[in-house]
Amino acid sequence: MSETANVVEVSQNDFQQQVVEKSRELPVLVDFWADWCAPCKMLLPVLLRLAEEYQGKFRLAKVNTDVERGLAEQHGIRSLPTLRLYRHGEVVEEMLGAQPESTLRELLDNYIERESDRSLEQALALAAEGRRADAVELLARAWEEDPGNLRLPLEYARLALEDGQLERAGKVLDELPRELRSSPQATSLRALLDMARATEHAPSTEALQATVDADPDQSEARYQLAARRLLEGDYDQALEQFMELLKRDRNWGDGAARKGLLAVFELLGEDDERVGRYRRQMFALLH
């Protein structure tokens, strides 16, 4: 195998430089192989073809485990071929055995920067400046030009939702690629969209609060209040109102209180202490 800038043989002496450090610039796919390994020989032409086709967007690093036994042992290699993808100095993916080309393409495409990724960064910067409408239009063009970039549509839907473009957000969520349709983020965005629609023509937050204060069993008003609080970014009040609705009328709106709580949990992330606390309360009420 001839060595090029995009395909290199690495040893224990230069693994840190050629793989770990280089992965801070671009993805590095490490192939642990051996001459006697038949699946390795089947995989090699596929890897070389991808390295040539991607034209420097990733580096292929080959490790001959018969020669570099110490390196293989250091990395705990027990099966050949073993593929490890490094990015930003760390292993981000691992595959054992020969892989079909389509699987390898999908793996690489998840980590290779595309022109549309730069549009995404620009859109997020615009949104941070309060220019959400501009950000939405930028992402609309980026997704139209690069529909294969799975990093785009969920951010596109989120920004459209935050900008009050509910019809557009719904259309994006309806047209999500198969790989994203059941993701936790997609589920959370659909729940937020339902809440935005439920509060689109609702009274003001203050009026809704006055309604539930006067009559705590007003389930629709309480749901609208919880949804409005969530859309305003007041997660504490949203959690309180959804939990109160669950206590008083758990079946209202086909379990809307439970769905609302789950949406807040997803937005906050499991590391947030409120998630564990309210999840335990929800479990106790439902069981």
Quick one: what percent of the chain has pLDDT higher than 90?
A: 83
Tokens of 159: 């920004």
- Alpha-carbon distance values, 248 to 6, 112, 220, 260 (Å): 63, 50, 12, 15
Tell me what the mean pLDDT of segment 37-64 comes to.
95
pLDDT in tens, 205-218: 999 999 999 999 99
**Sign of the four-CA dihedral 174, 176, 178, 179:** negative
Please identify which of the residues 10, 19, 40, 120 carries the catalytic annotation: 40
Residue 40 annotated to the active site: yes
DSSP string, 43-66: HHHHHHHHHHHHTTSSEEEEEETT
Tell me what the mean pLDDT of segment 68-72 comes to.
95
Question: Which amino acid belongs to residue 24?
Answer: R
pTM of the model: 0.65
- Among candidates 72, 76, 74, which has minimal Cα distance to 34? 72
pLDDT in tens, 271-281: 999 999 999 99
Burial code (b: 16+ CB inside 10 Å, e: under 16) for 222-255 equals bbbbbbbbbbeeebebbbebbbbbbeebeeebee
Tell me what the mean pLDDT of segment 263-270 comes to.
88
- Among candidates 93, 74, 90, 67, which has minimal Cα distance to 82? 93
Instruction: Quote the CA–CA distance of 89 and 77 in Å, as a whole number.
Output: 19
Please identify which of the residues 37, 47, 192, 221 carries the catalytic annotation: 37
Residue 45 annotated to the active site: no
pLDDT in tens, 203-262: 999 999 999 999 999 999 999 999 999 988 899 999 999 999 999 999 999 999 999 999
Tell me what the mean pLDDT of segment 124-145 comes to.
95
Q: What is the pLDDT of residue 3?
A: 54
- Alpha-carbon distance values, 68 to 6, 11, 226, 272 (Å): 20, 6, 60, 44
User: Confidence class of residue 2 from pLDDT cuts 50, 70 and 90?
Assistant: very low
Tell me what the mean pLDDT of segment 176-184 comes to.
89
Domains along the chain with CATH numbers: 7-109 (3.40.30.10), 115-181 (1.25.40), 199-286 (1.25.40.10)
pLDDT in tens, 101-132: 999 998 998 898 888 999 999 999 999 999 99
